[in-house]
């Protein structure tokens, strides 16, 4: 590897290991790293970090000075509360002209103080780096935003590593400002989901609340998002709490109230401190219940019952909730009134569906022609029949398919007065109530 691409990592956690794995084994062999966990009093913690080094194929070092020796690119990827200390300690140890890439989630003021420490030492060149997305699955291709006087030089070096970089024009702290202010929303949503879902489970209304939100914001899939956001807080809450303290500082530095960011710190810290792990494939309810247990609470034993008419077998009542839930599905169906749209849909069904913000379930129901499934997901029969007509299916044929009988059987049933009342009043009579 050319000397100018020798790389050191101060801090070797999720971000550093993701970058290294993306670069590949050949480049990893010339990467050095130092992580304070190798100085931890617990032998298991030390052994775990040494195993991380071995697994990544890099050279782990006993000190920061050893890791930094001769490195032209230095990634600082530590917790937010340690970032300033690391910059100050590393500054006099940097090789002359080395780029110090501060990728920590810190307030702009923290970044500017770190930059001043590096400049005062007179050896390295400081670059404000903001990691703009989770590092998995993109690894080294995770979007990075750079700012400061040396951002252009850093962008050129990082491009040689096939990294996805953009420059935010402005001084040190510009990239960090974008990252921090974005986190008010992104990490704040994690805290909002936690508070909403935990309260819902405690009150026994979580399913109703999430279904209502799905009806209001079709396609968002609040249950899946709840499970994902709870996993983020359970797994990374302590780190996120440290980052959000920097976010709160960012907002305060702007002279604005920072109550939302401060509240996010509280939830991230509370849940992260429990040390819970989120099992693969676990739903939001199971995760929420374990968090509730950690808080000394239990979920309600009884959930709020669904509306009485939800017990009608084989029927999905098109009420206000269903109307909101199926809005985009029904708009897709109504678009098929126009011949040009029908031809476009038949030519490329998946491509045409991309015009509408359907949920994954709604999209699958359309592609599989799951007629009853479309009604369950908010479709209205008078709209979904437009899709049937596009397929050359008339209303009687459609009704027969939805009823599970042949067209002749359906016609005979309707001529005889329709489905009998007896045995069809309740799902319990069908054996699935």
pLDDT tens track for 337-371:
999 999 999 999 999 999 998 888 899 999 999 99
Q: Quote the pLDDT of residue 37.
A: 96
pLDDT band for position 2 (cuts 50, 70, 90): very low
Q: Quote the pLDDT of residue 430.
A: 63
pLDDT band for position 428 (cuts 50, 70, 90): low
**Mean pLDDT to the nearest integer, 53-77:** 97
**Mean pLDDT to the nearest integer, 10-35:** 95
Q: Quote the pLDDT of residue 333.
A: 96
Beta bridge partners, 128, equal 102, 147
pLDDT band for position 5 (cuts 50, 70, 90): confident
* For residue 55, pLDDT beyond 50: yes
Q: Please tell me which residue, 152 or 4, carries the higher pLDDT value.
A: 152
pLDDT band for position 114 (cuts 50, 70, 90): very high
% of the chain surpassing 70 pLDDT? 95
pLDDT in tens, 328-342: 999 999 999 999 999
**Mean pLDDT to the nearest integer, 72-94:** 96
Q: Given the structure tokens 């971000």, which residue do they identify?
A: 15
* For residue 432, pLDDT beyond 80: no
Q: What is the mean pLDDT of the chain?
A: 92
Q: Quote the pLDDT of residue 86.
A: 97
Polymer length of the chain: 433
Neighbours of 90 (CB within 10 A): 27
* For residue 1, pLDDT beyond 50: no
Give Cα 103 to chain centroid, integer Å.
20
Kindly list the structural domains of the chain, giving each domain's residue range(s) and its CATH number in brackets, ordered by start: 3-170 (3.40.50.720), 177-294 (1.10.1040.10), 308-430 (1.10.700.10)
**Mean pLDDT to the nearest integer, 80-104:** 96
Q: Quote the pLDDT of residue 188.
A: 97
Gyration radius of the chain over CA positions: 28
pLDDT band for position 4 (cuts 50, 70, 90): very low
Q: Please tell me which residue, 304 or 135, carries the higher pLDDT value.
A: 135
Half-sphere exposure of residue 2, counting CA atoms within 13 Å on the CB side? 6
Q: Quote the pLDDT of residue 319.
A: 87
Residue 116 buriedness (CB in 10 A; 0-12 / 13-18 / 19+)? middle
* For residue 15, pLDDT beyond 70: yes
pLDDT band for position 427 (cuts 50, 70, 90): low
pLDDT in tens, 260-280: 999 999 999 999 999 998 888
% of the chain surpassing 90 pLDDT? 78
- For 201, residues 6+ apart whose C-beta sits below 8 A from its C-beta are 285, 288, 289, 292, 299, 300
**Mean pLDDT to the nearest integer, 145-167:** 97
Q: Quote the pLDDT of residue 324.
A: 81
Q: Quote the pLDDT of residue 303.
A: 58
pLDDT in tens, 271-317: 999 999 888 888 999 999 999 999 999 888 765 566 777 777 778 88
pLDDT in tens, 386-397: 999 999 999 999
Is the CB of residue 83 less than 8 Å from the CB of residue 102?
yes
pLDDT in tens, 193-237: 999 999 999 999 999 999 889 888 888 899 999 999 999 999 999
């Amino acid at each position: 590897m050319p000397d100018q691409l020798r790389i050191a990592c101060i801090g070797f956690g999720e971000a550093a290991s993701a970058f290294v794995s993306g670069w590949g084994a050949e480049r990893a062999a010339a990467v050095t790293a130092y992580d304070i966990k190798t100085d931890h009093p617990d032998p298991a913690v030390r052994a775990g970090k040494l195993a991380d080094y071995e697994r990544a194929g890099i050279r782990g070092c006993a000190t920061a000075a050893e890791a930094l020796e001769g490195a032209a690119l230095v990634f600082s990827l530590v917790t937010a509360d340690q970032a300033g200390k690391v910059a100050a300690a590393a500054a006099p140890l940097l090789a002359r002209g080395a780029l110090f890439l501060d990728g920590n989630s810190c307030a702009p003021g923290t970044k500017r103080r770190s930059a001043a420490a590096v400049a005062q030492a007179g050896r390295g060149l400081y670059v404000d780096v903001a990691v703009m997305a989770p590092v998995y699955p993109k690894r080294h291709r995770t979007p990075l935003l750079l700012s400061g006087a040396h951002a252009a030089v850093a962008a050129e070096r990082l491009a040689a590593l096939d990294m996805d970089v953009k420059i935010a024009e402005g001084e040190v702290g510009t990239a960090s400002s974008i990252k921090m202010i974005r986190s008010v929303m992104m990490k704040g949503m994690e805290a909002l989901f936690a508070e909403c879902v935990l309260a819902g489970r405690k009150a026994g209304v979580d399913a109703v609340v999430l279904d209502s939100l799905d009806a209001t914001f079709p396609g968002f899939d609040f249950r899946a998002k709840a499970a994902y956001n709870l996993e983020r807080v359970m797994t990374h809450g302590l780190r996120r709490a440290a980052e959000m303290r920097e976010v709160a500082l960012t907002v305060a530095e702007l002279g604005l109230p920072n109550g939302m960011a401060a509240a996010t710190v509280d939830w991230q810290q509370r849940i992260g401190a429990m040390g819970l792990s989120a099992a693969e494939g676990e739903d939001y309810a199971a995760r929420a219940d374990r968090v509730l247990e950690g808080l000394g609470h239990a979920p309600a034993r009884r959930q709020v019952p669904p509306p009485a008419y939800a017990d009608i077998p084989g029927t999905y009542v098109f009420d206000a909730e269903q109307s909101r839930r199926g809005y985009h599905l029904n708009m897709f169906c109504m678009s098929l009134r126009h011949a040009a749209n029908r031809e476009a849909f038949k030519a490329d069904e998946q491509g045409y569906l991309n015009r509408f913000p359907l949920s994954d379930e709604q999209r699958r129901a359309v592609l599989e022609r799951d007629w009853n499934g479309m009604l369950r997901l908010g479709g209205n029969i008078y709209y979904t029949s437009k899709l049937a007509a596009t397929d050359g299916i008339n209303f009687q044929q459609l009704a027969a398919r939805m009823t599970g009988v042949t067209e002749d059987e359906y016609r005979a049933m309707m001529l005889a007065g329709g489905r009998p009342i007896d045995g069809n009043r309740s799902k319990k009579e069908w054996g699935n109530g």
